[in-house]
């Protein structure tokens, strides 16, 4: 028994020793022993250029730019730039349904539409601003994104046709599935952070 165990142990020890030797050799080589030197790739980005990528919008409204729009304005934009893929009223064409939905989240094949599934209205703004229209992302002005967001909320029967969406009103819109997700906070678990 003792013999068998030691036979199995030997090769592992040898492999571990070899790995250690290889790692040591790699460290001793390299660029004169300075293993923390960063590879000299790229160049520092200008603040103005970095701002173009600083697009995160949070559920509480942080990151929303000035601007405004309603569903009436949004419908015209949707007809011109989105309907070809998303269909009349946001349903029925080749792309993802952006309105409606009939299968509830408890069904086997739930419709994960904005109205049934998304927890935060601000995510619509974030996503549309950075990714839409699919053929020309980043081309929409803040007013246009507010208007399209308003139209998608209206098409999902969450707000009225003339309700203005802006940096103050949009975070106040409550989507039906708002409480269907658990919060994830990398700094403090929600249970500890909330009273």
Q: Which residues bind ligand HEC (CB under 6 A)?
A: 81-82, 84-86, 95-96, 98, 113-114, 124, 127-128, 132-135, 148
Is the CB of 6 or the CB of 79 nearer to ligand HEC? Answer: 79
Measured CA to CA in angstroms, residue 77 lies from 69, 74, 80, 176 at distances of 11, 5, 5, 25
Q: How far apart, in whole angstroms, are the C-alpha atoms of residue 174 and residue 151?
A: 15
Is the CB of 82 or the CB of 159 nearer to ligand HEC? Answer: 82
Taking the complex as a whole, the smallest distance from the CB of residue 41 to ligand HEC amounts, in Å, to: 30
Taking the complex as a whole, the smallest distance from the CB of residue 48 to ligand HEC amounts, in Å, to: 25
Number of H helices and E strands in the chain, helices first, is 7, 2
Is the CB of 75 or the CB of 86 nearer to ligand HEC? Answer: 86
The helix/strand/coil state of 102 is coil
Taking the complex as a whole, the smallest distance from the CB of residue 188 to ligand HEC amounts, in Å, to: 29
Is the CB of 71 or the CB of 114 nearer to ligand HEC? Answer: 114
Taking the complex as a whole, the smallest distance from the CB of residue 140 to ligand HEC amounts, in Å, to: 6
Taking the complex as a whole, the smallest distance from the CB of residue 25 to ligand HEC amounts, in Å, to: 47
Q: Are strands 165-166 and 68-69 parallel, antiparallel or unpaired?
A: antiparallel
Is the CB of 25 or the CB of 76 nearer to ligand HEC? Answer: 76
| 97: number of Cβ within 10 Å | 20
CA 156 to chain centre: 21
Quick one: DSSP state of residue 174? B
């Amino acid at each position: 028994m003792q013999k068998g165990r030691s036979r199995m142990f030997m090769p592992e020890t040898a492999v571990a020793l070899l790995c250690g030797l290889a790692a040591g050799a790699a460290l001793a080589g390299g660029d004169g022993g300075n293993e923390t030197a960063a590879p000299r790739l790229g160049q520092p980005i200008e603040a103005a250029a970095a701002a173009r990528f600083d697009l995160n919008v949070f559920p509480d409204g942080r990151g929303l730019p000035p601007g405004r729009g309603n569903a009436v304005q949004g419908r015209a934009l949707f007809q011109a730039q989105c309907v070809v893929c998303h269909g009349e009223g946001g349903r029925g064409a080749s792309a993802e349904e952006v309105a409606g939905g009939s299968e509830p989240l408890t069904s086997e094949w739930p419709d994960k539409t904005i109205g049934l599934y998304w927890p935060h209205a601000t995510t619509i703004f974030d996503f549309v601003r950075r990714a839409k229209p699919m053929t020309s992302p980043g081309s929409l002005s803040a007013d246009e994104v507010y208007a399209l967001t308003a139209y998608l909320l209206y098409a999902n029967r969450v707000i009225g046709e003339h309700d203005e969406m802006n940096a103050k009103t949009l975070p106040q819109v409550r989507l039906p599935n708002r409480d269907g997700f658990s919060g994830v906070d990398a700094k403090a678990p929600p249970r500890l952070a909330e009273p």
